[in-house]
Amino acid sequence: MFQGQSVRVSRMECVGVFEVCFDRQGESINKFDARTVDELRQVAQLLRAQSPLRGILVTSAKDVFIVGADITEFGAMFAQPAEAIAADVWQSNLAFLAFEDLPAPSVVAINGFALGGGLEFALATSIRVMSEQAQIGVPEVKLGLFPGFGGTVRMMRVAGPAVACGWVASGKPAGAAQALEAGVVDAVVPADRLRAEALAWLERAMAGETDWVARQERKRRPQSQGGATLEQAFEQARSAAAKATPPHQPAALAALDMMREGAALDRDAAIRLEGQAFGRIARTQAAASMVQTFLNEQAVKKAARVAGKPGAHTRRAVVLGAGIMGGGIAFATALRGIPVRMKDVQQKALDAGMAEVAKQLERQVQSGRLTVARAAEVLTSITPQLGDEGLGEADLVIEAIVEKLEVKRQVLAALEPLLAPTAILASNTSSLRIDDIASALARPERLVGLHFFNPVPVMPLVEVVRGAQSSDAAVAGAVAYVNTIGKTAVVVRDCPGFLVNRVLTAYMRAFLQLVADGAAYTRVDQAMEAFGWPMGPAYLEDVVGMDTGSHVNDVISAGYPERMPRIEHDALRLMAQEHRYGQKSGLGFYRYEPNSRGKPVRSASGDTHALLERVQPQGPRDFTAEQIVDRMMLPMVLEAARALHEGVVASAAEVDLAMHLGLGFPAYAGGPLKYADWLGLPELLARCERLRALGPAYAPTDALRAMAAEGRRFY
C-alpha cells in the first residue's frame, strides 16, 4: 500500500486492518527526522481514506522501536528564531495529531528502545504493549530540551501529572515493569510474544472490549484531575526538579511550568503551548551546547572505532604499579574480559590494589550490574604478583608507577627485554612527555601514553598519547584496548600535559594569580561553582592533593615557559610546604572530617585566609564574579584553541568532549571552544584585550585573531 524510506503500510488478513511498520532503509535504527515525519503524515492521510478502517498495528522491523528525533537536524532548526522553531514543531505535530485522530483503534508493539519522539508517537496510539526487554523514556532534558512532539501533553493525560513531571524533568529511561506500574504502557509481555499480544489487544479493541475511543478522547480534553491535587503534584515536582537541576540548565523547570499551564487547555492548545516553550528553550546556551556535546560524542566515538580497527586485540594485560590507580585500571580491564597481571615491588601496594578491585566489584554487585558469580570470575582473572612471571605473554603493559621521569625510565628499560617484541608498552603518566620516557627504550615505537583519569572506574575518558616515535600499530592497538574496556579514547599528540591537563594548568594558574592578586579563595570557588563547575579550583586542588597538584602544575608549566612562567607567589606551593595536602591530610584550603560513611566532608578552615596573605603582597582585594570568571576562563579557552591549532588533537569536538569527560566542564557551556563560539570570537578577543596587562596567558594567537577577522567559528 505504501512504501517509504522509513515507514511502510501493508494490509493484514482481516479486512480493514493495517500494519504500519517503521523500517528505516540502510540503517540499524529508526528515528524521527523530517522525512519520517512527512511519511507519517502521508500514512495518516492514506489510512483515513480507507473504507473500512477497523484497526492499526504499529511495529518496528528493527531491534529497537524508535530512538527519538534526528539530532543532526537540530543545528539548522535551532538557528532560527524561537517563533520559527515553534512553527516547525507545530507542523511536525500535525502528523502525530492526524494519526492519533484516525477513526480506528491503534496498538503499538514497543520493542527495544522507544525514546524521545519514539515514546511520544507511542503515546499517540490507543494502546501500548511493551516487550519485557524494552526501555522507554523522554531523555530530552539531557540535551537541554524537553519533548516537543506532544509528549508532555499526552503523558500527563495518560499517566497523570506526577509521572509525567517526573519523567520529563529527570530524563531517566524506564524498564518495562516501571513503565507498566506508572501507567505509561498497558501491557508487558515476553519479547517473543510481543506481536501476538499486540494483535490480541487490537482484536479486543475492534470488538469493543476495550474502550479505545474514551482513551483517545481523554487525551484531547484538559487535565481532569482536581485543582488542589493537580497543584500539589506540580509543586512537588518543581521542588524536586529545582534541587536536581544543574546550574544554567532551564529546560526541566521550563517544561514543568509549561505543563502546569497546559493542563487547563485542550490537547491542541496545550501542544501549541509546548511548541512555543520548546522554541524558546531551543535558543538557550544549554540546548545549543548540550546538543553539540551529544554530536561530539558520536563523532569522537566513531573516530575511535576507525582508529582502533586495525589495532591488535588485547588478550592479556599487565598493570605495572598497584595501589588505587593500578587497581582501578586492572578492574576496568578485567571487567571487560581481559585477564590482568598486577605487578608491584611492594606487597602493601598489591594489597591496596586488590582492595580497590574488591571494592569496585562489591559496588557492581550491590547495584545489580554484576552477579556474585560474575564478580568472582572477574576477581580471579586478576593476578597480583611481585615477580616477573607471565610478563612475556602480555599484549599490553600499562605502567602506573610514581610520576618521576627517571624512575619510569629505569623501570621500563629493565622491563622491556622481558616483553614480547610486539607488546605495546603504555605509560599512565599525567604530566611527563612520552618522548622523554621513550628515550630509555630499545623499541620506542612500541610506547604510547594511556592517560586514565581518577577514579578510573568512573571516569570515561582515556587520552591515547602518540609520541614522535610511536608506531601506527601501537596507537591503533591502544585505541582498540580503550574501546574494548568501554571508555572514550581521544588520540593526542605528545606535549607537556597532553590536552586535558595542559588546558587545566592554564585554568589553575589563573586561580593562583587571582589569589596572589588578593582574591579570596572562597570567593573564587563560589564564582566558578556558580558558573557551573562541579567544584571550584581550591576545592579541586584539595581533592587532587596539594603535593600532586603543585608538582603537576610546575612540570607542565615548565613546558610552556613563554606564557606559563614560574609564579612567584604560589598558593599551591605554600600549602604543600605547610603539609596541608587537602582531603588526604584532612586540611588544605578547607578542613575535612569523615562522615558516618567515611566520606570526607568539607568545612571552612579559619586560618586559611591569614595563611594565604603570605602570597598576597598587595593584601586582600575584592573581585566581582564576572571578573573572576573572565580571569579563570579566558586562559583555558585560549590554551584549548592553541592545542587545536597546533594539531595536538584533530578536531574541536575532541577538545570539548575531552574537557567535558575529563574535567566536568559545565554541560550548559559545552566545552572551551563551544563557549568561545557562544561568546563570539570578537567578544572573546575584546575581553582578552581588557586583561592583556595580566600577561601572555591572556594573549590570543594569530590563528584565533584570523578566525575572528574572517567570521569563522569552531563549530
Residues annotated catalytic, as ranges: 451
Q: 54, exposed or middle or buried, with CB in 10 Å at 0-12, 13-18, 19+?
A: middle
Say if residues 101 and 119 touch (Cβ distance below 8 Å): no
Q: Which residues make Cβ contacts (< 8 Å) with residue 174, sequence separation at least 6?
A: 135, 136, 137, 167, 182, 184
- Bond before 460 cis per omega within 30 degrees: no
> Residue type for 272, please?
R
Say if residues 64 and 113 touch (Cβ distance below 8 Å): yes
- Bond before 696 cis per omega within 30 degrees: no
CA 331 to each of CA 335, 369, 381: distance values in angstroms, whole numbers, following the listed order: 6, 14, 10
CA distance 12 to 703: 63
Q: What is the DSSP string of 485-514?
A: TT-EEEEEE--TTTTHHHHHHHHHHHHHHH
> Residue type for 62, please?
K
CA 487 to each of CA 240, 336, 481, 569: distance values in angstroms, whole numbers, following the listed order: 32, 11, 9, 39
Say if residues 465 and 437 touch (Cβ distance below 8 Å): no
Say if residues 594 and 600 touch (Cβ distance below 8 Å): yes
CA distance 65 to 112: 6
CA distance 191 to 205: 22
3-state per-residue secondary structure call for 288-310: HHHHHHHHHHHHHHHHHHHHHCC
CA distance 61 to 22: 6
Query: What is the grid cell recorded at 161?
Result: 501529572
CA 546 to each of CA 34, 62, 554, 561, 709: distance values in angstroms, whole numbers, following the listed order: 53, 53, 12, 22, 42
**In 113-171, at which residue ranges do the beta strands (DSSP E only) sit?**
113-115, 127-131, 135-137
* φ, ψ for residue 506, nearest 5 deg: -60, -40
Nearest to 18, CA basis, from 90, 95, 134, 102: 102
Say if residues 205 and 105 touch (Cβ distance below 8 Å): yes
The region, left, alpha or beta by phi > 0 then psi within -120 to 50, assigned to residue 492 is beta
What's the sign of the alpha-carbon dihedral 454, 458, 460, 462?
Answer: positive
Residues paired with residue 591 on neighbouring β-strands, in sequence order: 587, 603
Nearest to 180, CA basis, from 233, 147, 135, 225: 135
Q: What share of the chain is helix, strand, coil (3-state, %, to 5)?
A: 55, 15, 35
Nearest to 682, CA basis, from 699, 666, 704: 704
Residues paired with residue 427 on neighbouring β-strands, in sequence order: 399, 449
CA distance 649 to 665: 18
Instruction: For the chain, state the CA radius of gyration.
Output: 29
3-class state of residue 29 by DSSP: coil
CA distance 452 to 425: 15
